[in-house]
Amino acid sequence: MDKNTFTGLFLIMVILAGGVFFMRPSEAEVKREQQVQDSIKNAGLKQPATTTKPTVEAVKTVDTAALKGPFGGNITGVEQTTVLENENLKITVSNLGGRIQSVEVKNEKTYGNKPLVLFDGNQNKFGLNLNIAGKITNTNDLYFTATKTGNGVTMRANYSADKYVDFVYALPANGSNLDFNINLTGFNQVLQGNNVNLNWETTLLQQEKDAKKEQEHSGPYFKYVEETPDHLDLHKDEKKELTEGKIEWFSFKQHFFSAVLIPTVPFDKGNLEVKVSTEPGKIKWYGANMTLPFNQLAAQNYNFKFYFGTNKFSTLKDQGHEIEKQVDLGYWPLKYINRFVVLPVFNFLEGFNWGYGLIILVLTILLKLAMSPLTYKSYVSMAKMRVLKPEMDEIKAKVGEDNPTLLQQEYLKLYKQVGVNPIGGCLPMLLQLPFVMAFFFFFPNLFELRGESFLWMKDLSTYDNFINFGFNVPFIGDHLSLMCILMTISTLIYTYFNNQISGATGQMKYIGYIMPIIFLGVLNSYPSGLNYYYFLANMLTFLQQFLIRKMVNDDKIHAILQDNKAKPKVEKKKTGFQARLEEYMRTQQQQANQKKK
């Protein structure tokens, strides 16, 4: 061993010896530590694994005054759970707070094929805030005593020998509901005020493939008595005071699943809060504080019903209370189209037990057949404009492009002579547009498509990531959906043929190509079922136009228009729109003439 190594080791030994000598506890500290350990032992608590100084929390839990006071026997304890289970639900109830610790929806899986658990763990809080002697006691912090009876359990926390709180859970053999009762016995003598506060906080876990889309479709919903259900902001944090009426129910809604609390007697008032989670595997944090009336009765009872399950429209409708309206079917009038037209037809087709790929195909065919008169009328109107194009070009060459007002007037004269409505091709398309847009809300919120596969698409309720980039590409994302690509290509082809039919020229010829490219970026992360529908709609439109072309002859249309042109015109009473249009044209022409002078 060289001299430097020996010197270094010697100094280390000196430092260690000095540290042990100078940092040893004094006799007073040893005595104080012994007193703490004796207090823990007397209180029935487990001794900490280490023998270091107790934390502040450990000292608080052994407050002898608290142990002898209200709920003294429930302040400390060991957490234990009771499981209630039926064919649809597996509910774990904890004696800590007497609350539901976790809910598993059986027969459903997450996108990763794991058991579908709505929430789990001690982040879930549920309890009453009781105002006793001016101090708030939260039952979520108490250890209850569990008594299991059949498929139910009673959780009791004793304030004293004749005063106690019961949380009673009963799970029926079937269904997705859990009966829940709160019983306050003897609290009329100690509870201050005319109400108690019910608090529920939880973080809902990710269930779907696309966490971002799941967040966009998740949020707290609520319903005032005799009002339509409403919700908090779905895209950002928000807290809302609910003071505009009695509250019939509220829910912590995810994209395809919900946890709903329905009181027998509506809540007097309350508030809801939502925070978007940034933690992996978590969607949003929800918080609710609801006010329950306290009538100073010796036995005060509150009855509730939980719903834990899917957001399938028909299942929610069976719950009553208009809970199904938390399924977003679009804005007016789109939601009425989806609710009373599309959904009943979809449910009818579902009764044949076909695959959902075939159901969407048949649904699209039926819609196209229903819209075929409008499609035919639109095609004929565009064909009329196409055969008039040579005459319109002659007018344009004669008048010139320097005077657009006069040009439009001459066009209108021609339309009037031949009996053509220049917007006749647009109106039928506009009438079809609400149905096209309705599906934009229908498929992304349709629970029935969840987990259903078709061709290469493993789940019609989310995008098919046919190509994964492994990194984010601006405008596109981290993947490319094959069905979205096919939909975009078919829309571009449709635009091309539509331009041929309408005879569009100039800038109008190219504007139609912009929207399909925009849709590629927008719909790339939307459900493959939606892109599949739009793709089918385009294909069927091609077929319709092919058949209509066989029935509509351009030469016959041209002959009819020339016939109309040759007929003597009977002056008809002008509509208000025609009069205003002609007046506008005259004004524009006068202004143009004055500028030339």
Q: How sure is the predictor about 4, in pLDDT bands with cuts at 50, 70 and 90?
A: very low
Question: What are phi and psi for residue 359, nearest 5 degrees?
Answer: -60, -45
The CA-based angle 454-457-279, given to 5 degrees, is 135
Looking at residue 403, its pLDDT comes to 74
Q: Record the tokens describing residue 89, joined without a space.
A: 């639900």
- For residue 543, being part of any structural domain is answered with yes
Looking at residue 516, its pLDDT comes to 86
Say how many domains are in the chain: 2
Residues 245, 279, single domain; the answer is yes
Looking at residue 118, its pLDDT comes to 95
User: Is residue 561 a contact partner of residue 384, using CB atoms and an 8 Å limit?
Assistant: yes
Looking at residue 542, its pLDDT comes to 87
**Has residue 242 got a pLDDT over 50?**
yes
What would the mean pLDDT of 413-429 be, rounded to a whole number?
75
Looking at residue 563, its pLDDT comes to 76
**Has residue 28 got a pLDDT over 60?**
no
Torsion of CA 371, 375, 378, 383, to 10 degrees: -170
SS3 135: strand
21 against 528, higher pLDDT: 528
Looking at residue 126, its pLDDT comes to 96
- For residue 583, being part of any structural domain is answered with no
Least confident of 98-112, 120-134, 162-176, 300-314: 120-134
User: Where is the domain boundary, 297, 326, 355?
Assistant: 326
- How many other CB atoms are there within 10 angstroms of residue 424's CB atom? 16
Residues 320, 203, single domain; the answer is yes
Residues 382, 512, single domain; the answer is yes
Q: What percent of the chain has pLDDT over 90?
A: 55
pLDDT tens for 350-406 read 999 999 999 999 999 999 999 888 888 888 887 888 788 888 888 888 877 777 777
- For residue 300, being part of any structural domain is answered with yes
Residues 322, 357, single domain; the answer is no
pLDDT tens for 468-514 read 998 988 888 899 999 999 999 999 988 887 777 655 666 666 777 88
**DSSP code, position 459:** -
User: Where is the domain boundary, 295, 326, 357?
Assistant: 326
- For residue 331, being part of any structural domain is answered with no
52 against 371, higher pLDDT: 371
**Has residue 522 got a pLDDT over 70?**
yes
**Has residue 36 got a pLDDT over 60?**
no
Q: How sure is the predictor about 595, in pLDDT bands with cuts at 50, 70 and 90?
A: low
Q: State the DSSP string of 278-332.
A: -STTEEEEEEEEEEEE----SEEEEEEEEEEEE--HHHHHHT-TTGGGGS---ST
Residues 367, 457, single domain; the answer is yes
Residues 429, 556, single domain; the answer is yes
- In angstroms, rounded to a whole number, what is the distance separating the alpha carbons of residues 251 and 290? 12
Q: How sure is the predictor about 30, in pLDDT bands with cuts at 50, 70 and 90?
A: very low
**DSSP code, position 149:** E
What would the mean pLDDT of 82-91 be, rounded to a whole number?
96
Domain limits at 357?
A: 336-566
- For residue 44, being part of any structural domain is answered with no
Q: How sure is the predictor about 588, in pLDDT bands with cuts at 50, 70 and 90?
A: low
Residues 366, 218, single domain; the answer is no
**Has residue 16 got a pLDDT over 60?**
no
Residues 379, 488, single domain; the answer is yes
Looking at residue 174, its pLDDT comes to 92
Looking at residue 550, its pLDDT comes to 82
- For residue 483, being part of any structural domain is answered with yes
Looking at residue 272, its pLDDT comes to 97
Least confident of 16-25, 419-428, 535-544, 563-572: 16-25
Residue 217 pairs in a beta bridge with none
- For residue 490, being part of any structural domain is answered with yes
- In angstroms, rounded to a whole number, what is the distance separating the alpha carbons of residues 544 and 549? 9
Q: What is the mean pLDDT of the chain?
A: 84
Residues 308, 366, single domain; the answer is no
User: Is residue 234 a contact partner of residue 218, using CB atoms and an 8 Å limit?
Assistant: yes
pLDDT tens for 314-355 read 999 999 999 999 999 998 889 999 999 999 999 999 999 999
CATH code, domain carrying 190? 2.70.98.90
Least confident of 33-37, 114-118, 500-504: 33-37
Q: What percent of the chain has pLDDT over 70?
A: 82
Looking at residue 582, its pLDDT comes to 64
Per the rule left: phi > 0, alpha: psi between -120 and 50, beta: everything else, 254 is beta
Using CA of residue 384, residue 386, residue 389, residue 392, what is the dihedral sign?
Answer: positive
What would the mean pLDDT of 153-159 be, rounded to a whole number?
95
Q: Record the tokens describing residue 421, joined without a space.
A: 């409505």
Enumerate residues 6+ apart whose C-beta is below 8 A from 174.
86, 87, 88
- For residue 14, being part of any structural domain is answered with no
Residues 310, 386, single domain; the answer is no
Residues 515, 376, single domain; the answer is yes
532 against 333, higher pLDDT: 532
User: Where is the domain boundary, 326, 354, 377?
Assistant: 326
Residues 318, 377, single domain; the answer is no
**Has residue 50 got a pLDDT over 80?**
no
pTM score: 0.79
- How many other CB atoms are there within 10 angstroms of residue 491's CB atom? 22
- In angstroms, rounded to a whole number, what is the distance separating the alpha carbons of residues 159 and 129? 14
